[in-house]
Structure 1
């Protein structure tokens, strides 16, 4: 038997802002709030399903965002890459330069706090 990823934890300055952003991006919902200000978001069926949840954990001393050792890759499920890019930019994402050449088949973006993520070209079936 193997392990699988059940949740990702992201330290952030503004959990409310990022919860709204990532819920819109991933079609997630708020699942839980903790007294410390943490917000857990995830798929409508909740924790333990095939998709991991994301815990947005408030931290006062979050380093400037940028290229970290781990980042999120996303794929559109109901539109092509260009249409999804337009939607993400309207939600508050912005283009990020991490040294790409411009020839890559993906777009490097940053969320409202500057956390880098990539929009890949391939379209996936929704779960």
Structure 2
């Protein structure tokens, strides 16, 4: 049996702000709050389902290019419509050296953490 991703951890300056952003982007809810400001967000079904939860933990250092980022696929609209929605939620285009010929969009969340919006639409399951 192989492993499967159950949680993604992201250090950030303002976990509450990023929780609001990512909950809107992914249709997640806040599942848990810790005394130190750490938040766990995830699908309404909670931890252990088909999608990993995201742990947002307070960290003072600046966001920047990291080794890990999220790749997102729209489930109920095409890529262009989803791009407009993400930008309206506070995402911003990010330049990581793209040529302009890519089939995906590189964006950053409100703290500058990069993620990609892929072209292929996925079944929401």
Q: TM-score range by the shorter chain?
A: over 0.9
Is the contact between residue 77 and residue 121 of structure 2 (CA under 8 Å) also seen in structure 1?
yes
Report the CA distance between 1:68 and its aligned residue: 1.7
Match of 2:78 in 1: 80
Q: Distance in 2 between matches of 1:118 and 1:101?
A: 15
Q: Distance in 1 between matches of 2:67 and 2:98?
A: 16
What are the superposed Cα offsets for residues 24-71 of structure 1, whole Å, 9 maximum, x if unpaired? 0000000000011000000000001111000000012x2332x32111
Q: Please, what TM-score do these two structures have when normalized by structure 2?
A: 0.97
Contact 2:9 2:54 in 1 (8 A): yes
Pick the aligned partner of 2:106 from 91, 94, 108: 108
Confirm whether residue 121 of structure 1 aligns to residue 106 of structure 2: no
Query: Where does structure 2 lack aligned partners over 5 or more consecutive residues?
Result: none
1:63 matches 2:77 = no
Partner residue of 1:44?
A: 44
Aligned residues between the structures: 125
Describe the superposition over 1:78-126 as per-residue Cα deviations: whole angstroms up to 9, x where unpaired.
0000000000000000000000000000000000000000000000010
Deviating 4+ runs (over 3 angstroms): none
Question: For the Cα contact (< 8 Å) 2:12–2:63, is it kept in 1?
Answer: no
Q: Which residue of 1 aligns with 2:30?
A: 30
Q: TM-score, normalised by structure 1?
A: 0.96
SS of the aligned residue for 2:22 comes to: helix
